[in-house]
Amino acid sequence: MSRVIFFIGEGLRALRRGAAPSLAAIVTVAITILLLGVLIPILQTTGGKANEVRDQVDVRVFLYDDATQSETDTLETNIQQIPHVESVDYVSKQQALQNLRDRLDDPALVDQLPGHRNPLPASFEIQPDDIDNLGTITSALQPPGQNGDPEPISPAIEEVLDSRDDATAIASVSSTVKIFMLVIAALLITASLLLVGNTIRLSIYARRTEVEVMRLVGATNWFIRWPFMVEGLVCGLIGGMVAIGALLLGKVTIVDPLADSITLLSAQKTTTIAFPALMLILLAAATVVSALGSGFTLRRFLKV
Partner 1 sequence: MARSDTSTRRRLRGRAAERRPEHLTERRAKPPIIELRHATKIFPGGHVALERVSLRVDRGEFVFLVGPTGCGKSTLIKMLIRELAPTEGEVLIAGRDIATISNKKIPQLRRRIGTVFQDFKLLDSRNVYDNVAYALQVIGASRSEIRSKVPDALRLVGLGDKINNFPDQLSGGEQQRLSIARAFVNHPPLLLADEPTGNLDPETSIGIMQLLYRINRTGTTVLVVTHDREMVDKMRRRVIGLADGRVVRDQSAGMYSDDENTTEFGLRLRDEMGLEE
Contacts with partner 1 by CB under 8 A lie at 1-3, 6, 13-14, 17-18, 209-210, 212-223, 304
Residue 299 CB, nearest approach to partner 1 (Å): 13
Round to whole Å and give the CA distance between 273 and 276. Answer: 9
E strand or H helix at 99, and its extent? Answer: helix 93-103
11 or 41: CB nearest partner 1: 11
Query: What is the length of the chain?
Result: 304
Round to whole Å and give the CA distance between 279 and 274. Answer: 9
Residue 207 CB, nearest approach to partner 1 (Å): 8
9 or 150: CB nearest partner 1: 9
197 or 227: CB nearest partner 1: 227
**Local structure of residue 124 (DSSP, 8 states):** E
180 or 222: CB nearest partner 1: 222
Residue 216 CB, nearest approach to partner 1 (Å): 5
Residue 263 CB, nearest approach to partner 1 (Å): 56
Among the listed residues 52, 56, 102, the one whose alpha carbon sits nearest the alpha carbon of residue 269: 52
17 or 103: CB nearest partner 1: 17
How far, in Å, are 5, 13, 214, 287, 289 from residue 225 at the CA level? 14, 14, 10, 16, 15
72 or 221: CB nearest partner 1: 221
E strand or H helix at 172, and its extent? Answer: helix 164-205
Residue 19 CB, nearest approach to partner 1 (Å): 12
Residue 25 CB, nearest approach to partner 1 (Å): 17
Instruction: Report yes or no: 213 and 3 within 8 Å, Cβ to Cβ.
Output: no
Round to whole Å and give the CA distance between 224 and 302. Answer: 9
**Local structure of residue 146 (DSSP, 8 states):** T
Among the listed residues 300, 298, 291, the one whose alpha carbon sits nearest the alpha carbon of residue 196: 291
